[in-house]
Chains A and B, each alone.
Chain A
Amino acid sequence: MSNQSPSDGSTARIGRTPMPEQDPKVRARNFKEVPLGFTPDMAMREASRCLHCKKPLCREGCPVGVPIPDFLALVAKGDFAAAAEKVKETNALPAVCGRVCPQENQCEGRCLLGKKFEPVAIGRCERFVADYQRETGRISVPKKAASNGQKIAVVGAGPSGLTVAGDMILAGYEVTLFDALHKPGGVLMYGIPEFRLPKAIVEAEIASLEKLGVEIRCNSLIGKTITVDELIRDEGFDAVFVGVGAGLPTFLGIPGEDLGNVCSANEYLTRSNLMKGYRFPEYDTPVIRGKNVCVVGGGNVAMDAARSALRLGADTVKIVYRRSEAELPARAEEVHHAKEEGVEFLLLTNPIELLGDDRGQVRAMRVQKMELGEPDASGRRRPIPIPGSEDEFDTDLVVIAAGSRANPVLTHHTENLELSKKGYIVATESGRTSKPGVWAGGDIVTGAATVILAMGAGRTASKDMDTWLKSGKEGWL
């Protein structure tokens, strides 16, 4: 181990420490995690590249303001447990975020070193310290405020809900966490595959919430099993946080989309991840094992579906995306990994029809080539079809990863809850909804976004909830 002073920056110029990874050919056929993680030496080496800027841009780029240079200094010194505690001051789930945050658009995208050299691998260091702490069992038990007897209901056990549950239990409240599925974790459990986020990590986070005293009630579809209004009126909850995500798949609306063997990425990934379909028939839920798979879309969800398809035995996997490489919304690392593993990218290509066989199952996809025109409302250049460019190819499984929208089950069964035109919950900066005592945050407010933004929204809401409850429920909007 080096004993370098953390602030001399002499190692800044040396390249970014590469992440050891499973070989692409091998990993494309297994569900084990792809990046193997830094060793302590690698972490110290990488952290010592940090320049300790006076005005750290990295921290500004972090949606929850992790004290990045401070934690990197502790890593460089080899004090990993302390480094992990530092990160946890503002980020409750560093083992998750270190793996799934789009660092290139956040901390690493702003890192000063990146202007001339490569940015510090902040995400990899974050992952390292969190893993170190979990694996060595050096997790300090956080101090819990004395119980105040007030009851909080958290609806949805995704990153936003988990954050609120953790914050509020530590602040002395009684917390019950409800989720519709049979396992908590939200997208971390049902969406993101094992090879990118091992489920044991999510389970460990949830177990520690339970150890702190959070009561978890799965199999509770709020709006159907019990409503938000009943939670407040009949079950005596003093405040409710709604973090139900954006769980409604979008389809393309093209002919043939309702054929068999055409599914949403949510279905495909839920079967594979949550239901463990990748271990079928040991687990009972099957997942279609296509030989020539087409995945429509260019985000993280599409990459996860495409890479899962390879691991489920596909011979060819195509990503069909209507814009160009520059517009791919997925994390850079996922695109890179997908390519290494052999996923083909059909860019500037839009599906226009799916064709079926005599059993009503999909057999081919018709596509059209696109070119980029003027920027649209999202600021990205609008794809325009090129006439006469139609093409067709065979496929036996089409996965649609074209985004998700607000699921109406809870919102339509809650009285006086203001919704946007698209069905998302309208909430203030601090997460207050139009309904007194009810906060909301995460994807159900912002639309499909990121894990860290959902966690940030949870943290903001918890603080405001605590203030409101301590003030004796004074005032609302």
Chain B
Amino acid sequence: MIPIVSNRELAPNIYEMVVENRILARRARAGQFLIVMPDDHGERIPLTIADYDVEAGTVTMVIMAIGTSTRKLVKLGPGDSLYAMLGPLGNASEIENYGTVIMVAGGVGAAPIYPIARALSEAGNRVITIQGSRNKGLLFWVDKLASVSSEHIITTDDGSFGRKALVTEPLRELLEKETVGCVYTIGPAIMMKFCAETVRPFGVRTIASLNSIMIDGTGMCGGCRVRVGGETKFTCVDGPEFDALAIDWSIATARQKSFCEAEKCSLDRYIELNGTK
């Protein structure tokens, strides 16, 4: 059982949860994730290690409550514990000095991108962060991201904060005027795909962190497989980061949809039993 230290709402439906897990905190590296089970009837779901504190022995996750498992999680707080947690999983980000790096975060992607931005900044990179959100209210960790970025650009779909644009617009402008060593993109699949298409003509190395559906997270089931550069890869052990220009996005998004009906059925039942919150 993993004790929960704190849980607070960062933005509507987006929660920051800190748990105690000494071993994981000691081992965690930027870019890695973990698998949690809220309770013994629960699913095993992957979440990025958004932050970790070796001394306190804690790990931070940022969770967007969308379906049954994430709603179950965010309802828990100090005094509760999680049934199971496995990690750290996946490969750590390759932290090199690329010169200038652009980090594109969409929505809840701001959380996973933070430890990578921090590590890249510590490695001497000039980090430019583009944080995109639907509106002002859904923004979170703005200060945290700004603190590890040389430049921090915010875009919203409705213009309620920062620039009214899609993240790909400032991305293209930056690529046009600067020499960029690497682009990171983390967020909804569709956004990552469009970032990849934006960067493609510039030939800059682009890395996306995939959120394939997982179960074990140990390479045992192959459920998380994706096609990258014509090869089958398992996101949990070969990723989660891949060359965004080589990912077959149509397969990645199709595989994400296989359980739609079941997810809806599960959520309807959950709401019936627990109310909407």
Query: A interface vs B, CB < 8 Å?
Result: 180-182, 218-221, 224-226, 247-249, 251, 257-261, 263-264, 266-267, 270-271, 275-276, 280-286, 288, 356, 359-361, 407-409
Docked-complex contact A247 and B254, CB < 8 angstroms? no
Interchain nearest-CB distance for B75 vs A (Å): 14
A275 x B43 contact (CB < 8 A): yes
> Roughly how many angstroms separate A260 CA and B262 CA in the complex, as a whole number?
14
* Interface 1/0 per residue, B18-45 and A, CB below 8 Å: 0000011001000000000100011110
Residue on A with the closest CB to B68? A284
Known: A225-B87, A361-B254. A284 touches B216 (CB 8 A): no
In the complex, 12 of the A-B residue pairs with CB atoms within 8 angstroms, ordered by the A residue number, are: A220-B86, A258-B225, A258-B227, A260-B257, A266-B222, A267-B223, A275-B44, A286-B259, A286-B266, A359-B257, A360-B257, A408-B219
Q: Which residue of B lies closest to A360 (CB)?
A: B254
- Residues in A with CB closer than 8 Å to B218 are 180-181, 221, 247, 407, 409
Contact A270 B43 (CB under 8 A): no
Given A249, A271, A284, A407, which contacts B42 in the complex, CB threshold below 8 Å? A284
Shortest Cβ distance from residue B210 to the other chain A in the assembled complex, whole angstroms: 13
Task: Find out whether the CB atom of A266 lies under 8 angstroms from the CB atom of B43.
Answer: no
Is A225 within 8 A of B86, CB to CB?
yes
Within 8 A of A (CB), among B135-187: none
Closest B residue to A226 by beta carbon equals B23
Interface centre among A218, A221, A264, A276, by most B CB within 10 Å? A221
Contact status B87-A267, CB under 8 Å: no
- Expressed in whole angstroms, the Cα–Cα distance for A285 and B216 within the complex equals 12
Residues from chain A with Cβ under 8 Å of B221 in the complex: 249, 263-264, 266-267, 270
Q: A263 with B27: in contact, given A180-B216, A182-B37, A286-B266 (CB under 8 Å)?
A: no
Over the window 102-122 of chain B, the binary record of Cβ atoms lying under 8 Å from chain A Cβ atoms (1 yes, 0 no) is 000000000000000000000
Asked whether A219 lies within 8 Å of B220 as measured between CB atoms, the reply is no
Q: Number of B interface residues at 8 Å Cβ cutoff, please give it.
A: 46
Contacts of A285 in B (CB 8 A): 42-44, 215
**Residues in B neighbouring A247, C-beta threshold 8 A:** 218-220
Q: A180-B216, A258-B232 are in contact. Are A280 and B262 (CB under 8 A)?
A: yes
- Measured CA separation A220–B217 after assembly (Å): 12
Are B86 and A219 interface neighbours, CB within 8 A? yes
Chain A residue with Cβ nearest B250: A360
Residues of chain B touching chain A, judged by Cβ–Cβ distance below 8 Å, are 23-24, 27, 37, 41-44, 68-69, 72, 83-89, 215-223, 225-227, 232, 237, 248, 250-251, 253-255, 257-259, 262-263, 265-266, 269
**Bound form: Cα–Cα A220–B88 in Å:** 10
Q: Is the CB of B258 within 8 A of A288?
A: yes
Instruction: Return chain A residues, CB-CB under 8 Å to B265.
Output: 281, 286
Distance of A410 Cα from B23 Cα, bound (Å): 17
With A219-B86, A276-B41, A284-B42 known, 12 other A-B pairs at CB within 8 A are: A182-B86, A219-B84, A247-B220, A270-B215, A270-B216, A275-B43, A275-B44, A285-B42, A286-B259, A407-B218, A407-B220, A408-B219
Task: From known contacts A270-B221, A280-B266, A284-B266, infer whether A219 and B43 are also in contact, taking CB-CB under 8 Å.
Answer: no
Q: Inside 8 A of A182's CB, which chain B residues have their CB?
A: 37, 44, 83-84, 86
What are the nearest 5 A-B pairs in CB distance?
A360-B254, A286-B262, A267-B221, A247-B220, A260-B258
Which of B69, B248, B251, B254 meets A284, CB within 8 Å?
Answer: B69
CB distance from B127 to the nearest CB of A (A): 27
> Which one of B23, B24, B269 contacts A281 once the chains associate, using CB atoms below 8 Å?
B269
Q: Could you tell me the distance between the alpha carbons of A384 and B197 in the complex, rounded to whole angstroms?
A: 44
Nearest A residue (CB) for B256: A260
Q: Which chain B residue shows the least CB distance to A404? A: B220
> Nearest Cβ distance between residue B37 and chain A, in whole angstroms?
6
> Nearest-CB distance from B54 to chain A (Å)?
15
Contact B27–A409 (Cβ < 8 Å): no
A309–B102 Cα distance when bound, in Å, is: 47
**In the assembled complex, how far is the CB of residue A290 from the closest CB belonging to chain B, in whole angstroms?**
11
Residue on A nearest B27 in the bound complex, by CB: A225
Cβ contact of A258, chosen from B23, B255, B266, cutoff 8 A: B255
Q: A225-B24, A280-B266, A284-B42 are in contact. Are A264 and B222 (CB under 8 A)?
A: yes
Interchain nearest-CB distance for B245 vs A (Å):
18
A275: chain B residues within 8 A (beta carbon): 43-44, 215
| Bound complex: CA A364 to CA B265 (Å) | 26
B86 partner, pick from A180, A282, A286, beta carbons under 8 A: A180
Complex: chain B residue closest to A180, CB-CB: B218
Cβ contact within 8 Å between B219 and A248: yes
Residues of chain B contacted by A251 (CB below 8 angstroms): 222, 225, 232
B259 contacts across to A, CB distance below 8 A: 286, 288
- Closest Cβ of chain A to B35, distance in Å, is 9
The smallest C-beta distance from B269 to any residue of chain A, in angstroms, reads 5
In Å, the complex CA distance between A323 and B41 comes to 40
Q: Known: A266-B221, A281-B266. Contact between A221 and B41, CB under 8 A?
A: no
Q: Contact partner of A270 among B42, B89, B220, CB < 8 A? A: B220
Residues of B within 8 A of A286 (CB): 259, 262-263, 265-266
